[in-house]
Amino acid sequence: MKDQSPSSTKKSSSDERRVHRSVPVGGMPVAINLPNAPGITLGADTEILQKLVRQLRLERSFLQGVLDQMPVGVVLAEAPSGRLILGNRRMEELMRERFFPALIIDQYSHWHGTRPDGARYQPHDWPLSRALLFGEDVRGEIIRLRRGDRTFSLFEMSASPVRDEKGLIAAAVASFHDVGDRPWAQQMFQGLIPAKEKRPRKR
């Protein structure tokens, strides 16, 4: 009597589908047999992947170019981590420092900002953080910010969440501009701004 191992007695059912993957060697394509489509093979070789990478880089460069032409500072962050993805040239000019690539929301403590009552912004208090975490639309919030050269000014900041096709928050964007020379903004921080910092209104 022949010895029958479990592998020799076990048979695959006629409707069983298997996924087969070949290991790429020397740039050879990866062949994948789809489980519900026998006989159909996707060829995903290195050339196609390289084209996709080039396309993504091109789109990122295009987005960066558009942002750099905007007259206000713009920052884009991914959700839920808060990692800063992009910042435009105007942001660096306004903040007088290079783009700071924060990895998480807690690192937003890099910036020093205060409210009209003198309370300091904590990392989760920033308009960008609230848009990321709570989906809040922030419009025209006035913040007294310390810039990279240790000087202060008043900034009007807005932020909004960016949602995916399912309605989930995928990212958030914040924009801001300097309003330090506006009397109405200075009045909001009356008592916090030293007289020498107050600038005359532009005519």
176 sits in which H/E element: strand 169-178
* Average pLDDT score over residue span 178-197: 84
91 sits in which H/E element: helix 89-95
* Token code pair at residue 7: 């592998």
Band (pLDDT 50/70/90 cuts) for residue 41 is very low
The tens digit of pLDDT for each residue in 51-67 reads: 777 776 777 676 666 66
The tens digit of pLDDT for each residue in 141-171 reads: 999 999 999 999 999 999 999 999 999 999 9
For residue 139, pLDDT over 50 is answered with yes
Q: Which amino acid is at 7?
A: S
* Token code pair at residue 52: 């996709």
Residue 198 is predicted with a pLDDT of 55
Please give the Cα distance from 172 to 75 (Å, whole number): 8
- What single string gives the DSSP state of each residue in 17-56? ----BPPP-TTPPEEEE-TTSTT-EEEE-HHHHHHHHHHH
Residue 31 is predicted with a pLDDT of 42
The tens digit of pLDDT for each residue in 65-103 reads: 666 678 899 999 999 999 999 889 999 999 999 999 999
Q: Which of 52-56, 78-82, 105-109, 196-200 has the lowest mean pLDDT?
A: 196-200
Residue 62 is predicted with a pLDDT of 63
Burial 152-165 (b: 16+ CB within 10 A, else e): bbbbbbbbbbeeee
Domains and CATH numbers, the chain: 46-197 (3.30.450.20)
Closest CA to 97 of 121, 75, 119, 71: 75
Please give the Cα distance from 77 to 84 (Å, whole number): 4
For residue 33, pLDDT over 50 is answered with no
Please give the Cα distance from 105 to 140 (Å, whole number): 21
What's the sign of the alpha-carbon dihedral 117, 122, 126, 132? negative
Mean residue pLDDT across the chain: 79
Please give the Cα distance from 193 to 112 (Å, whole number): 15
Residue 49 is predicted with a pLDDT of 72
Query: What is residue 185's three-state secondary structure?
Result: helix
